[in-house]
Chain A
Amino acid sequence: MELLKIQNIEKYYGGKLNLTKAVDDISFKVDEGEFVAIMGASGSGKTTLLNCISTIDRVTAGHIFLGDMDITKLKGKALTNFRRDRLGFIFQDFNLLDTLTAYENIALALSIQNRPAKEIDEAVKLAAKQLGITEVLEKYPYQMSGGQKQRVASARAIITHPSLILADEPTGALDSKSAKLLLERFNYLNSENNATIIMVTHDSFTASYASRVLFIKDGRLFNEISRGDSSRKEFFNKIIDVVTLLGGDVSDAL
């Protein structure tokens, strides 16, 4: 079932003289339960694209439909509510509140929705179990490793059961072991909870965990490959091939 439909969106920066087309006429669709990775070199516009989808940034032209709602038309309170209820965010730098414990950080996403405390408690414990962070729940961010922090952030993102989880370079600040652990959790959430995930990355290894990879170059859609029934290893090799074709610093990032 089609969940997200992106129609000819454009995002320009600057004025007449120094116009930058960060996103230049991109269209694609994401089905429910899909795990999509968006790859591209730095400056290719992938983060801008994600920001537009997440309503943090506004598009210059085009439409983004989530279900049958045009989210580019949302304003003010409706926008905040949409972000709060329908989206889950995972950031490269975790964005955990350093004054709160892991438990409270996760609970905050539900508190903002004004859910009763009892319901919050159950939900937090379940999410923590799914992401394997039950034992760090009472710790503060400064007492956790990067991987733990990112899993806490992920727990916070999924706990509201959002329609769409957006991850911006989630493994960017992690070592390879933690990254692998996190991505396996993503796969788990994707298959068990039927969570729809869109992940921006420039790392082919990270992207190989997705079911489909979109490649972006200079603000345009460059290529798109699906994993299908192939193994992760084969998929990884396919990605490498495209990246080589793409050139630029993505290949450096291998």
Chain B
Amino acid sequence: MLFKLSLNNIRRSIRDYAVYFFTLIIGVSIFYSFNSLSTQAAYLRIENDEHDMIELLKDFISGVSVFVAIVLGLLIVYANRFLMKRRNKEFALYLMMGMSKRRISRILLTETVIIGISSLFAGLLLGIGLSQLMAALTANLFDADMSAYKFTVSSSAVVKTVICFGIMYLVVMILNVAVIGKCRLIELLQSGKRSEIIKQKKMWICVPVFLISAAVLAYEYFVVGWHMEKLSRERFALIIAGGAVCTFLLFWSVSGMILRVVMSMKGVYFRSLNSFTFRQISSKINTNVMSMTVICLMLFLTICLLSSAFTVRNSMRSNIEEYCPADFEVTYSEKEGGETGFDGSPVFVDIEEMYRQAGFELSDNMKEYVHFHRYTDTDLTLESFCGEKAEELKIKYPFIAWNRAEEIVKLSDYNKVMELYGREKLELADNEFVITCNFENALNLRNSALSKGLVINVFGRELVSKTDECVDSFIDLSAQHVNDGIIIIPDSAADESFASVDAFIGNYKATDKEEKNAIEKIKREEYKKVCDTYIDPYAENSGNDIFCDIDTKAAINNNAVGLGAIVTFVCLYIGLIFLISCAAILALKHLSDCTDSSERYEMLRKIGAGEKEINSSLFRQTGIFFMVPLILAGVHSVFGMKFASDVLGAIGTEGIMGSVCITVLMILAVYGGYFLITYLCSRYIIKSRKT
């Protein structure tokens, strides 16, 4: 009996529940497909090193899943409370008929169980389908081979999804029972009697509030977009908080003004159903200022997250081509001021010699290589480099290690490396120096200190800057442009006693990928043995003084690809969840509004409004309700992305336009999908009952 009643209840309120159910299914499927990633990846032919990345990805996804579960949980609880409120009349009827609260609770429990199980089932089915698509995405992101892939279902992800959502539904049940236990019959009966009281906000408050919040936002955009250096951590927090408050105030004031503005345009206001449409929109925005603010901010976050994620991934690929032009680099260095090496030998050791002592020849299997020294002069720090401008710059860039010794390379060595890289060489007169740098922040700093003719003191000799600006170049292999400054001096100025790093950069003697991988393996083993022999025994007491470091193109590539993939997945995950949460809340609100005002549409029909006009009015209401937060979020994002692209400067922002386009498409697909469903559902709700 009760079961039948529950089932009928759901069937009857299917219009209200449709969006809720739809959201649950999507939530479950997204949750499943991201959590099943690692299982999927096991079937892909992914190179060994990348398996570590997959493990890392798995950990990340697990961590983020907790956050996602909380977001989804809140969404479900909110949506459920909302739907419960709509049914107060029904509960009142049960109570009046003499049904006990306990039985009503039982009905609700049954309903939740029915909805929970069916949404879990449908969501998992969808998720299993979706995860096969995700595998293709994974393969693409990790440059893996799909040929060995077959259809998989991740049982661990299924279990995780069921447990997570089970807990959420349990919370919903408990809350429902609590609500029923607390409610009083008279309140339930009166809840339907809603007297619409229209309060128009005062223009003289709205306009200043609007202007002030718009001005503050404009200022914040300006600071974030063009004056990043002004941003300390506290100010950044302040800007975010201010942005949120201003978003709220903007919605608040606009909701008060929009109607007045349209009303003053009599020609527009009194055309067709416009007066009705704008009243509806205005009251809708009026009552939903808070949720629209939250939704706007979440959309903003989503847009920035997704575009940044795609950008990071794109740039990482193109960066490696440019900033990692050789196969292999190994460096041996000592901490400044270190007196002795690993075996009491002089401060500086020849790395080839070190390999030989361990029984290897470093230049074996190398097609070409450069072996050179890098120097430091403890008297030449960034601070002394900047000279008199140092004080001024210190205020501007407080977080930089100002007393770190500058790295110095001989011109002939630099040119040899450039020849290996296939990059442009340099020329210097005997008393000149240049500084190479490509890390944007350091570049700005150095450029403001540097001028043609700036004199520095290197190893007791005075050298004059050849250029006005830093030379855009680098020496170390890396995935990004992170060279924060290497000074190139003429050979005659070099002093071997200041050598602090011994570097070896080379290309493998290989023609294809297989051979390269084979050499890579050998070189890694050699490196490991060398380190084991010479570095490790001293790790505890002198490990901090000695560094032996290896960089290979293969490793950098794997890391970059893996990192790009992780960033993409995590952002995609959070972004999607945010997106469906926002859209679901908007949809629920709109649909319940439609149910409340369905009799208004009936009246319009009676006084002779055509179906076409009514539908277009409804379309506009739905559209504007969905568009308003999206538009403001879009404006926020333009400046947010400007900021993000500055922050991402280190990684590079190649293809940012493409990333933004993909993001926009994704948002249009998900958000637009919700919009369409909402519109169609609301059309059904207000459809004439009589024919």
Interface residues of A (CB under 8 A from B): 56-57, 77, 80-81, 83-85, 87, 89, 91, 95-100, 104, 107-112, 114, 116-118, 120-121, 140, 142, 156
Contacts and interface: CB of A to CB of B under 8 A. Distances in A.
A99 B280 contact: yes
Nearest to A94: B603
Nearest to A99: B279
B611 interface: yes
16 contacts: A57-B690, A77-B610, A84-B608, A89-B607, A95-B603, A97-B276, A97-B600, A99-B196, A99-B279, A108-B273, A108-B607, A111-B270, A111-B275, A112-B610, A117-B270, A118-B266
B608 A97 contact: no
B195 A108 contact: no
A142 to B, nearest CB: 6
B441 interface: no
Interface string B583-598: 0000000000000010
Interface in B594-621: 597, 600, 603-604, 606-611, 613
B266 A117 contact: yes
B196 A89 contact: no
A188 to B, nearest CB: 22
Contacts of B266: 117-118, 121
Contact of B279 (A100, A110, A111): A100
Q: B196, B269, B270, B280 — which one has the most chain A CB atoms within 10 A of its CB?
A: B270
Contacts of A91: 606
B603 A114 contact: no
Interface string B89-127: 000000000000000000000000000000000000000
Nearest to B612: A77
Given A108-B273, A117-B270, A89 B606 contact: yes
Contact of B196 (A57, A83, A142): A142
Contacts, number: 86
A112 B279 CA distance: 16
Nearest to B263: A104
Q: Which 9 A-B pairs have the closest CB atoms?
A: A84-B608, A117-B266, A99-B279, A83-B608, A80-B610, A98-B196, A95-B603, A117-B270, A104-B275
Given A99-B196, A104-B275, A109 B607 contact: yes
B270 A109 contact: no
Contacts of B690: 56-57
A100 B275 contact: yes
Q: Which of B198, B266, B273, B608 has the most CB of A within 10 A?
A: B608
Nearest to A104: B275
A81 B197 CA distance: 33
A98 B196 CA distance: 7
A112 B611 contact: no
Interface in B252-270: 266-267, 269-270
B203 to A, nearest CB: 15
B616 to A, nearest CB: 12
A156 B609 CA distance: 13
A50 to B, nearest CB: 12
B473 interface: no
Contacts of A56: 606, 690
A104 B198 CA distance: 14
Contacts of A95: 603, 606-607
B461 interface: no
B609 A84 contact: yes
A111 B274 contact: yes
Contacts of B609: 80, 84, 112
Contacts of A84: 607-610
Contacts of B604: 97, 108
A97 B602 CA distance: 10
Contacts of B606: 56, 89, 91, 95
A71 to B, nearest CB: 14
Contacts of B195: 142
Nearest to B599: A95
> Of B275, B283, B600, B611, which is in contact with the most chain A CB atoms at under 10 Å from its CB?
B275
A169 to B, nearest CB: 15
Given A100-B279, A108-B276, A114-B272, A140 B608 contact: no
A24 B196 CA distance: 42
B271 interface: yes
A99 B279 CA distance: 6
Contacts of A140: 196-198
Given A57-B690, A99-B600, A110 B197 contact: no
A89 B605 CA distance: 11
Nearest to B195: A142
Contacts of B267: 116-117
Given A99-B280, A140-B198, A142-B196, A80 B607 contact: no
Interface string B664-691: 0000000000000000000000000010
A185 to B, nearest CB: 19
B343 to A, nearest CB: 88
Given A107-B270, A114-B271, A80 B276 contact: no
Nearest to A120: B270
Nearest to B283: A99
A110 to B, nearest CB: 7
A121 B266 CA distance: 9
Given A89-B607, A97-B600, A100-B276, A110 B270 contact: yes
A242 to B, nearest CB: 31
Contacts of B198: 99, 140
A60 to B, nearest CB: 14
Contacts of A117: 266-267, 269-271
A97 B614 CA distance: 14
Given A112-B613, A117-B266, A156-B607, A107 B275 contact: yes
B611 A80 contact: yes
A113 B421 CA distance: 76
Contacts of B272: 111-112, 114
A165 to B, nearest CB: 12
A111 B604 CA distance: 12
Contacts of B269: 117
A190 B166 CA distance: 68
Given A84-B609, A99-B279, 17 more contacts: A56-B690, A80-B608, A80-B610, A81-B608, A84-B607, A84-B610, A95-B603, A97-B276, A99-B196, A99-B198, A99-B283, A99-B600, A109-B607, A112-B608, A114-B272, A117-B266, A120-B270
B197 A142 contact: yes
Interface string B277-310: 0011001000000000000000000000000000
A85 B608 CA distance: 8
